[in-house]
Amino acid sequence: MRVEIWSDVVCPWCYIGKRRFERALAAFEHRDEVEVRWRSFELDPHAPREGGDEEPAARLARKYGMTVEEARAAQDRVTGLAAEEGLAYRLDAARPANTFDAHRLLHLAADRGVQGAVKEGLMAAHFTAARPIGDPETLVAVAAEAGLDEAAAREVLAGDAYAEDVAADERDAAELGISGVPFFVLDRRYGISGAQPAELIHQALTRAWSER
């Protein structure tokens, strides 16, 4: 069975959803027969490579039309939910970035058999280490730490390799009606929207398997 997951590496709910999916998969009887593929989705395709020095809460408030205090409260809620999944978010320090190049590296990582590790590395770098993943050198370093060949990563970032693959993922998302992430697609038959509880994801995996 194939599970495709559309997400962005700077989406706080996507990292939470990743952990919940991993718990569901670990409890799934046929987990060794499940292929997981991470698909590209950019929350803000027009974001600059690095987002500047604006305070994260202020940026969130401006984006969603709320006060800075409300934005900080929202960050605290998400940080608490992340902690329940074993994730130590640093949303007050996380640096915004354009993620197009990160997604290109994830396609390279898929071809090299290390996509899951690179995905984890990029999300951890952004949310728990506050590293600037819009910076090419940081991207190369994080990818290499996760097991991707450093020279290959540099070569991809120096050109436009995998750009069409990222675009194809995003076209697929539009055709499937995906407007928010994370979004899980099971065998292109079932969809799970959002960072649902692990129990619900497990139920979906079981149902999809039984109806294959």
The fourth-level CATH superfamily of domain 2-45+99-210 is Glutaredoxin (3.40.30.10)
Q: What is the per-residue pLDDT for 52?
A: 64
Domain extents in the chain: 2-45+99-210, 53-94
Residues 182/11, Cβ–Cβ less than 8 Å? yes
Give me the residues of the chain with pLDDT under 50, please.
none
Specify the pLDDT at position 51.
64
Q: Per-residue pLDDT tens for 134-179?
A: 999 999 999 999 999 999 999 999 999 999 999 999 999 999 999 9
Convert 134-159 into a string of H (helix), E (strand) and C (coil): CCHHHHHHHHHHCCCCHHHHHHHHHC
Q: What is the pLDDT of residue 55?
A: 83
Quote the pTM value: 0.95
Give the whole-angstrom CA distance, residue 156 versus residue 163. Answer: 10
